[in-house]
Structure 1
Amino acid sequence: MANNFELDTLKIRIADPRLAALELHVRVQRALRQLILDGVLAPGCRLPATRTLSQSLGLSRDTVETAYAQLQLDGYLCRRTGSGSFVSDKIGPNLQGTRQKNGKAFMPLRPQAGSSVALSTRGANILAGGGVADQQAVKAFATGLPETRTFPVDIWERLQRQALKSHRPSVLLHGDPQGAEPLRQAIADYLNLERGARVAADQVLVLSSTRQALFLCAQVLVDAGQPILMEDPGYFGARKAFEMAQLKIVPIPVDHKGLRTDMLRADPSGANTIYVTPSHQYPTGATLALERRLELTAWAAERQGWIIEDDYDSQFHYEGLPTACVQGLDTHQRTIYLGTFSKSLYPGLRMGYMVLPHELVKPMSHARSILDGHTPQISQLTLARFLDGGHFGSHIRAMRKIYAVRREAMAHAVQRHLRGIVAAHLPPGGLQMPCLLAEGWSEPDTIRQAARVGIQLPGLSRLYARPPARGGWLLGFAALTPHEIETAIQRLAKALG
């Protein structure tokens, strides 16, 4: 510690602006500790006496003594009366970021990019497959983003204050893993009235998202390595949840009437669980025909299996009334209904739910309690008031009108500026529009060209288990005004030449 290099380094580290809020003795202790961990002060190295170091640093001896005492207490120093203070021999090379070579410190070799790390097989598969990227800012043409600029924040804040005042201090404690009873009742009332469901409050499980619901279904209903059926094309997040649980995904084709129930009947895998989006198929926009809904529920009853019904953005239907959910048709009670408020209200809310057959309520609630305990109570109670007060229904009706206009604006802009490149399919509902590329156009190439001008083109191909005959895009329009849509489509057309 006697040489000027180490003293100068110590002074620089004590003066580090990131430590400015700490007391002086803590800054000295932190700086010395880092020199030890970096290998600048090697095991067995003798430190200067507290009087000597305090004079060199221009500090009081008590400050340095307090720093030394804490380092000794933490195990970094050994102090022997009459001999001095030494870096502990227990601080071996494995605990240091550098090594000593010829009396000088040098940095060890870092692992090369792409080198293997110690992960489980499951962890390695997750790393290789990638995660699910949620869009954190409004950007053309990201999918799944609702309009948030018109959300009634003032009403929400007022209801939140009321909920906090009425339920203080219980909202500050742990909540019921199944969810707050007022919200479960409000969800049941809404689904029975608006979606044609048959739900009691004790069948509702409040969650943070649809993806959490899918993860629970994968863990509770199907063993690892066993098959689960899924629409093809289908929701990317569902596929990732099932892959993470190490399930074998068996694709069932979709046509203009939704899931091919004839292919479902012909499936030889032996699977007894299927994931579907019947009200608004993702991504094609097809609505599952009534006869197929009945065939689907009959299949589940015969197999003693389960239907996972994801009622994705079903509130936003622009041509006639939304079709009633499968859960309300299922007299055999084999349907698990999934819903979310992240698309109907705002993504940052992180609130979803499951409606479960009675025999699944307890196992799913137990699994959820292990996963993350419960959803924040204040958010649940605020949402319950938002539903009960009629604000949710008003918001949905207002958004449905806005989105209908934006859907038309998207279709017209694509027709005007991208004719000959893509053909847009006008969906009867939802927050995004599927477009198929014309012959000779490459999906990856168009995505790269769009990215150069700041436009995100979600590709359709990644949603297919089997490569589609034609590539395309899934253009989100709900979060963009008609003017923003027109401007972005013009920029895209220019980028594509």
Structure 2
Amino acid sequence: MFKHAQLESVKAWITDPAHGALPLHARIQRAIRQLILDGVLEVGKPLPASRALAQSLGVSRDTVEGAYSQLHAEGFIDRHVGSGSFVSERAQVSPKRRTGQHPRSEPARLSRRGAAMFQSGGVRETPIPRAFAPGVPETRSFPLPIWERLERQVLKEYGTMALAHSDPQGVEALRRAIADYVNLERGARATFERVLVLTSSQQALSLCASVLLDAGDRIFLEDPVYHGARRAFDAAGLECVPVPLDTQGLRVERLQDAAQPAKAVFLTPSHQFPTGATLALDRRLAIIEWAHRNQAWIIEDDYDSEFHYAGKPMACMQGLDAHDRTIYIGTFTKSMFPGLRLAYMVLPPALVAPMTVARTLQDGHSASIPQLTLARFMEGGHFGSHVRTMRSLYNARRDLLEQLVRAHLSDFLEVRVPIGGMQMPCILIKDIPEREAIDTARRAGVDLLGLTALHASNKHKAGFLMGFAAYTPKEMEIAAKKLANVLRALDR
């Protein structure tokens, strides 16, 4: 018979609400198994007769028999007719565990790349964003009824075929729609054969890092730069070389005059992240010639080019590159909704097969149903209509955020109004620690991204990148007042 403490342990395990989803016999089985693994029940220890344990636990004998049968099948107990049930020798545990002295947990031994990934902290998105988290689109205004109707059409037409694996390069209908869109709206030179559909722009960056460069290779990065790009390249073991910016974008002479060439350059030329600068045409052409001359790659991230508020945005670099050295990255996370998990690359012809094969070693393919639905959404003109609606909405919210900063935060922040995008850089003009301000604001219900973490050099001003796209006027006003209180308290 179990000792009193052992019986109470089993009772506690089977009545724990955390285990409520398990059948009763499975709860009893796992409770006894845990006693064996912890060394509480030693090898050779007899278990109570099923009838006696059932009576003690207030359950049927069949329930206990089911638990014992599973323990026997897994090798934890031996059962002998006429003798009863005993803890099996096969369930021998270490002396340390038997005496309750569990070995100290040690950090896992990671590869250099694994350690770099872990130490970077990764790229984490907020499941339920609060003002002023940047880079978050407005989803409450998304035309969900249209999307649902198109998805039903897809399921009706394709049936179970839509449940199968898709082409790792992406559904052809979506690749055609993407090629048509970037050619028309972004001035690209794309064909559907050159489009690779992915789950995210972050995946695209990781593919570029692993397929195009080796550990130790140099890559030029804008300074400041999108943190997800730098972390992807750091994790790949690349030598990231920061290149400063001015009002015309990346300073091209730093590439041309570098003592050691690089194998690639990462750019956000249409709307630099986070400054909002647009790379001037002469610099774009100079970078293209630099890449051609050095047989280097241009990784162009066009992350939110749809949202430009002062005339038409400049055409993408990929459309200017006659030498096919540019990899163009686009995403639907910002223009549609984050849960869609669809992005793409427009690749030089020579890279289509290598990138597609490399993609099969990651997640294999993107889900067919969202791809087919998005293709119809684009073909029917709904995507263009949605983007135009959001562009108008974001423009108004950008203007409102500027007014709120000037009204409530002008003693602390200098606003830098962008001509596009979904976030606004604001510079701290008081001697307030940026990190402390971010942490205090978060506890007060306001989310901010600091500018310091986006710079490689120390020659910059502290501040915040404040998102405005996803938040109503009331939400932004409340957050602005909370932030003003936070900064006022820190300034005392």
- After TM superposition, the score normalised by the length of structure 1 is 0.94
Whether the 8 Å CA contact 2:412–2:429 is kept in 1: the answer is yes
* Residues 1:42 and 2:49 aligned together: no
1:260 and 1:495 map into 2 onto residues whose CA distance is 37
The secondary structure found in structure 2 opposite 1:229 is strand
Over the aligned positions, Cα root-mean-square deviation in angstroms equals: 1.9
2:355 and 2:474 map into 1 onto residues whose CA distance is 45
* Residues 1:151 and 2:142 aligned together: yes
Partner of 1:33: 33
Partner of 1:225: 216
Partner of 1:74: 74
Moved more, 115-124 or 291-300: 115-124
Partner of 2:319: 328
The secondary structure found in structure 2 opposite 1:163 is helix
Whether the 8 Å CA contact 1:205–1:353 is kept in 2: the answer is yes
Task: Give the 5 Å matches for 1:187-336.
Answer: 187-336=178-327
The secondary structure found in structure 2 opposite 1:332 is coil
* Residues 1:85 and 2:76 aligned together: no
Instruction: Name the aligned partner's letter for residue 86 of structure 2.
Output: F
Choose the corresponding residue for 2:453, options 458, 462, 472: 462
Deviation at 1:64, TM superposition (A): 3.0
Partner of 1:410: 401
1:146 and 1:227 map into 2 onto residues whose CA distance is 33
Deviation at 1:329, TM superposition (A): 0.5
Choose the corresponding residue for 1:450, options 427, 431, 441: 441
Whether the 8 Å CA contact 1:461–1:468 is kept in 2: the answer is no
The secondary structure found in structure 2 opposite 1:85 is strand
Deviation at 1:130, TM superposition (A): 1.1
Partner of 1:375: 366
* Residues 1:166 and 2:165 aligned together: no
List gaps (5 residues or longer) in structure 1: 101-105
Give a deviation string over 1:351-403, Cα, whole Å, max 9, x none.
10000000000000000011001000000000000100000100111111111
* Residues 1:99 and 2:98 aligned together: yes
Give a deviation string over 1:219-269, Cα, whole Å, max 9, x none.
000001211111111000001111111111111111110111111111223
Deviation at 1:326, TM superposition (A): 0.4
Instruction: Name the aligned partner's letter for residue 14 of structure 1.
Output: I
1:127 and 1:177 map into 2 onto residues whose CA distance is 28
1:226 and 1:255 map into 2 onto residues whose CA distance is 26
Moved more, 443-452 or 351-360: 443-452
* Residues 1:428 and 2:419 aligned together: yes
Give a deviation string over 1:440-490, Cα, whole Å, max 9, x none.
333223323323422122110100111233211111111112332222212
Moved more, 53-62 or 431-440: 53-62
Whether the 8 Å CA contact 1:37–1:97 is kept in 2: the answer is no
Instruction: Name the aligned partner's letter for residue 122 of structure 1.
Output: R
Give a deviation string over 1:391-431, Cα, whole Å, max 9, x none.
01001111111111111111111122222322111111000
Whether the 8 Å CA contact 1:145–1:478 is kept in 2: the answer is yes
Moved more, 74-83 or 395-404: 74-83
- Identical-residue share of aligned pairs (%): 54
Deviation at 1:50, TM superposition (A): 3.2
* Residues 1:108 and 2:102 aligned together: yes
Instruction: Name the aligned partner's letter for residue 3 of structure 1.
Output: K
Moved more, 298-307 or 466-475: 466-475
1:350 and 1:437 map into 2 onto residues whose CA distance is 34
Cα 1:80–1:467 change in 2 (3 A) is same
* Residues 1:119 and 2:113 aligned together: no
List gaps (5 residues or longer) in structure 2: none
Give a deviation string over 1:89-115, Cα, whole Å, max 9, x none.
222324x99423xxxxx463654xxx5
The secondary structure found in structure 1 opposite 2:361 is helix
Deviation at 1:26, TM superposition (A): 3.1
Whether the 8 Å CA contact 2:134–2:448 is kept in 1: the answer is no
The number of equivalent residue pairs is 488
Cα 1:248–1:62 change in 2 (3 A) is same
1:181 and 1:475 map into 2 onto residues whose CA distance is 38
2:19 and 2:453 map into 1 onto residues whose CA distance is 47
Partner of 1:12: 12
Cα 1:156–1:26 change in 2 (3 A) is same
Whether the 8 Å CA contact 2:446–2:483 is kept in 1: the answer is yes
